Every structure is written in C-alpha cells, then in structure tokens.
Amino acid sequence: MLALAFALAALEALAILVLLRNRKRRKQALLSLRETLSLLEQRLSTRTESWRQATDILEQAEERHRITTALLNETKEYLNSIINSMPSIMIGVTPSGHVTHWNAAAELATGIREKQALGFRLHEIYPDLPVTPAMIEEAIANSEPSTQENVKVEHLNVVRYVDITVYPLHSLELTGAVIRVDDVTLRQKLDSMMLQNEKLKSLGELAAGMAHEINNPLAAILQSLQNVQRRLNPNHPGNQAAAKALGVDMYQLHNYLEARDINRFLGGMEGAGHRAAEIVRHMLEFSRSSSRQLEPTSLNVVAHASVEFMRSAIELSMPALHAKLTFEEDFDISLPLVPASGIELQQVLVNLLKNAAQAIQEAHREHPLIRISTRLVPPFAEIRVEDNGIGMNISTSRQIFDPFFTTKTVGQGTGLGLSISHFIISQRHHGRIEVTSTPGVGTTFILTLPLQQPTHAPALAGH
C-alpha cells in the first residue's frame, strides 16, 4: 500500500515535470516567434522607406526630364527659326550625306520641300549642287571647313553663282556637316562688269598709242608686199624689160613662182596684213570715240540707216543669204531725240547686224530673219536687234564682250566688234548692252540708252 502510494506520488511528480518542461518549450517558441516577427517588421519598414525614397527620386528625374524636353524643344524651335530666317541655304548632313536639316532658303532655291529632303541622300535629291560625299567626308576628317567660291550651279535651267562652305560638325554622339550655300550671282555680275570696264578702259588707253605705232610699219609692209606682187607680174612691160636685160624669162619665172606656191604665200601675207590693219582700225575707234560730242539724235533714223547699210553690205558679201533674208523694222514713233553720237551708234548697230547675219548664215535657215525695233521705256530708249541664227551657249555669251574673243575662223572676225560696242554704249552713252540667246534658236541684243545724260553720274550697271 505504501509502495503504491509512493509510486503514485512519483508518477504525479513525473507528470508535473513533463508538464513543466512542455510549457517552457512553448514559451521559448513563442519568444522566438515574436523576435522573428519584429525582425520582419523592421525589414519591411526599411524597405518601404527606401522604396519611398526611390519613388521620390524617380518623380524628380521625371520632372527634370519633362522640363529639359520642353527646353530642348524650345531651343530647337528657336534654332530652326534662326536657320529658316537666314538668306543662305543651310543643309545639315550625316557623314554619309543623308539630309538632317533643310532650311527655308533651301526649299526656295530648289523647290524641294523639307519633308521631301529629310533622310534622303543630298546628291540624289539635289544633284546640281556640286557637293560630293567625298567632300563631306574630307571636311569631317580634317575637322576644317572647306570652301569653294564662285561655283556655277545650273538648276532647272537657271544659272547661278554660289559660294559653298562645308562646316564639319563634331559632338559626342553625332558627327556630320552643315553645308552653307550663298548666292553670289549679283556680286559675280558686278565683278565681271567692273573687270569688263577696266579691261576696256586700259584697252582704250593702250589702243591710241599702239595703233599709231603699229600702223606705220604695217602700212610699209603692205605697201612693199603690193610692190613685190606688182613686180612679179609677168604681163607688166617694165618687169619684162628688166628680166630680159638680165637674160631671165619672165613667164618661166612666173611658172616657177606658181610651182613653188610662192604667189599663194604672198596672198596669205597680204590677207594677214589686212587683218592686222583691221584690228588696228578697230582699236583706234576706242580712242577716237571719246572726242565725239553727244547730240540729240533720232534712234529710228540711225537704226534705219544701219539696216540700209547692212543690206547692201550683205548683198555684196553674202549674196545667197541676201536673196532670202528678211529685215523687219519696227520703230516706236513716240521715241524722242536721245543724246547720242549717231556715228558711234551706227557703228554699234552695224556690228550687231553683221554678227546677226553671220549667225544666221551659219544656221542655214529656210526663213532667215533679222528684226530691229525701238521702244520708249521711260527714262530710257531701247533698241533691240534679234536674229534667228545659231545662237550661243552660256559660256560663249559670258565672254562676247571681252576684247579679241571670237568663235569665228581666222580672217572672219577680230573679236573686237562687241567690245567696242560695249565701250561705246556703257562708257560714252552711260547705257547698257545686254544679250539673251538660245543655242539653235537665236539671239537678241538689247541696247538701253538714257533719255537724258546724267551730268556726273556713273555708267549704268550691267552688260
């Protein structure tokens, strides 16, 4: 019984012990659970804080980006309006020559809209512009602008002169170039006009002295040549007598000269001598003209007299042309008298009419026509000489007023006719002489003379 009670007490004590141990374990587990929970809470709060900070930074960055984009757009607009208001053509290109910018001046000059140009290769959309991909590459590689001056550009049949500069562009991401094209046609025209006047002025100064110096020996050469030809004439009694006295047969001598072509050479010498004399005569016109007075002159009378003179000259020298040629005269009767030198104006008109006749003869027209007309265009009087001859290309028409420029064969022209005409009209009459011509169609010369001579004004611009 005692043993049983003891055993029961021990069992109870054991149960209490087990119970105590379990409670302790649970308590420990609870504790560690709480710790883990608090750790998790801490981590979550740290994460939330850093996420909030990141969102803040992102929002700020987004705002900065928005402002920068707006500023960029504003700057782009501003730059575009600057570029578009420039009179120069500005074309932006990539190194491979693809267009990135195309300003308003480029649109105006080429007729190509910005939309049609952007992204395309420059030399494909605007082949008339002499800027090759090689030039763009070179400017970029050398990091130096390259410039070409007074470049002739023909676009849609209009010829202009331009200065072209290729500026290389270097930035961090982008490399390319800006091509700037400036129209210098007017400057070129003024330069060539001034050069022309200078040339004629110095030619005029030279002419007087030179003509006299050359004239005398030339006259002696021609005179002696005539004597030689006369003294070789086998039919001349004096020659026959002199030859006989020396035991020479004059006809044999003549045959020898013919067989050795000597008479032909002498003829050539004579022709060349006369040509030289003609040049000297033309050159003397420069110096002579400055001494003549301008007086009230009827342009219609001078024009008609010039036509009559040329009509008979053509009849003699170009009979075949004369048979077919029509001279059309269309005179403005309201034209007042104009201060001019009639002799000089006639010289100019004869030069123009002679050129017209020669150009027509070369064209072999079925209906050759020369038209001369006058017109009152206050404060100027205008004379036009039109022909349906061979015409001339741009390169020829740019040189025709240069002294000694001629396209005619030796003996046909001295190349002084138009430069003298230019001198007479621009220097002596303060007028203008202009030409328009189409190859294969014909040519028109326009003389513009002031109705009143300026007292101290310079000559009219242009030629």
Ligand X SMILES: Nc1ncnc2c1ncn2[C@@H]1O[C@H](COP(=O)(O)OP(=O)(O)OP(=O)(O)O)[C@@H](O)[C@H]1O
Residue 359 binds which entry of ligand X, Mg ion, none, with Cβ cut-offs from 5 to 8 Å by kind? ligand X
Kindly state whether residue 408 participates in binding ligand X, applying the rule CB under 6 A: yes
Binding residues for Mg ion, how many (CB under 5 A)?
2
Q: Which residue is nearest to Mg ion (CB)?
A: 417
Kindly state whether residue 414 participates in binding ligand X, applying the rule CB under 6 A: yes
Q: Which stretch binds Mg ion (CB under 5 A): 110-118, 122-130, 241-249, 350-358?
A: 350-358
Candidates 97, 273, 417, 431; binder of Mg ion (CB under 5 A) is 417
Candidates 110, 188, 287, 443; binder of ligand X (CB under 6 A) is 443
Kindly state whether residue 413 participates in binding ligand X, applying the rule CB under 6 A: yes
Q: Which residue matches tokens 């219609």?
A: 300
Candidates 289, 297, 355, 437; binder of Mg ion (CB under 5 A) is 355
CB nearer to ligand X: pick between 139 and 385: 385
Q: Is the distance from CB of 360 to CB of 387 less than 8 angstroms?
A: yes
Q: CB of residue 394 vs ligand X: minimum separation in angstroms?
A: 12
CB nearer to ligand X: pick between 97 and 403: 403
Kindly state whether residue 359 participates in binding ligand X, applying the rule CB under 6 A: yes
Q: Which stretch binds ligand X (CB under 6 A): 14-22, 190-198, 244-252, 388-396?
A: 388-396
Q: Which stretch binds ligand X (CB under 6 A): 102-110, 184-192, 199-207, 349-357?
A: 349-357
CB nearer to ligand X: pick between 100 and 427: 427
Kindly state whether residue 387 participates in binding ligand X, applying the rule CB under 6 A: yes
CB nearer to ligand X: pick between 197 and 396: 396
| Torsion over CA: 222, 351, 434, 428 (sign) | positive
Q: CB of residue 306 vs ligand X: minimum separation in angstroms?
A: 15
Q: Which of 179, 170, 183 is nearest to 90 (CA)?
A: 179
Kindly state whether residue 351 participates in binding ligand X, applying the rule CB under 6 A: yes
Q: Which of 299, 301, 280 is nearest to 420 (CA)?
A: 280
Candidates 193, 418, 425, 459; binder of ligand X (CB under 6 A) is 418
CB nearer to Mg ion: pick between 129 and 303: 303
Who contacts 88 (Cβ-Cβ below 8 Å, separation ≥6)?
105, 180, 181, 182
Binders of Mg ion in range 157-186 (CB under 5 A): none
Kindly state whether residue 406 participates in binding ligand X, applying the rule CB under 6 A: yes
Residue 339 binds which entry of ligand X, Mg ion, none, with Cβ cut-offs from 5 to 8 Å by kind? none
Q: Which stretch binds ligand X (CB under 6 A): 69-77, 140-148, 304-312, 386-394?
A: 386-394
> What's the 3-state SS for the chain?
CHHHHHHHHHHHHHHHHHHHHHHHHHHHHHHHHHHHHHHHHHHHHHHHHHHHHHHHHHHHHHHHHHHHHHHHHHHHHHHHHHHHHCCCEEEEECCCCEEEEECHHHHHHHCCCHHHHCCCEHHHHCCCCCCCHHHHHHHHHHCCCEEEEEEEEEECCEEEEEEEEEEEEECCCCEEEEEEEEECHHHHHHHHHHHHHHHHHHHHHHHHHHHHHHHHHHHHHHHHHHHHHHHCCCCCHHHHHHHHHCCCCHHHHHHHHHHCCHHHHHHHHHHHHHHHHHHHHHHHHHHHHCCCCCEEECHHHHHHHHHHHHHHHHHHHCHHHHHHCEEEEECCCCCCCEEECHHHHHHHHHHHHHHHHHHHHHHCCCCCEEEEEEEEECCEEEEEEEECCCCCCHHHHCCCCCCCCCCCCCCCCCCCHHHHHHHHHHHHCCCEEEEEEECCCEEEEEEEEECCCCCCCCCCCCC
CB nearer to ligand X: pick between 298 and 396: 396
Q: Which stretch binds Mg ion (CB under 5 A): 147-155, 195-203, 364-372, 411-419?
A: 411-419
CB nearer to Mg ion: pick between 381 and 420: 420
Residue 380 binds which entry of ligand X, Mg ion, none, with Cβ cut-offs from 5 to 8 Å by kind? none
Residue 196 binds which entry of ligand X, Mg ion, none, with Cβ cut-offs from 5 to 8 Å by kind? none
Q: Which of 186, 135, 136, 192 is nearest to 161 (CA)?
A: 186
Residue 407 binds which entry of ligand X, Mg ion, none, with Cβ cut-offs from 5 to 8 Å by kind? ligand X
CB nearer to ligand X: pick between 135 and 363: 363
Q: CB of residue 417 vs ligand X: minimum separation in angstroms?
A: 2
Q: CB of residue 128 vs ligand X: minimum separation in angstroms?
A: 26
Cα(107)–Cα(113) distance, rounded to whole angstroms? 5
Residues of this chain that interact with ligand X (CB under 6 A) are 351, 355-356, 359, 387, 389-392, 396, 400, 405-408, 413-419, 443
Residues of this chain that interact with Mg ion (CB under 5 A) are 355, 417
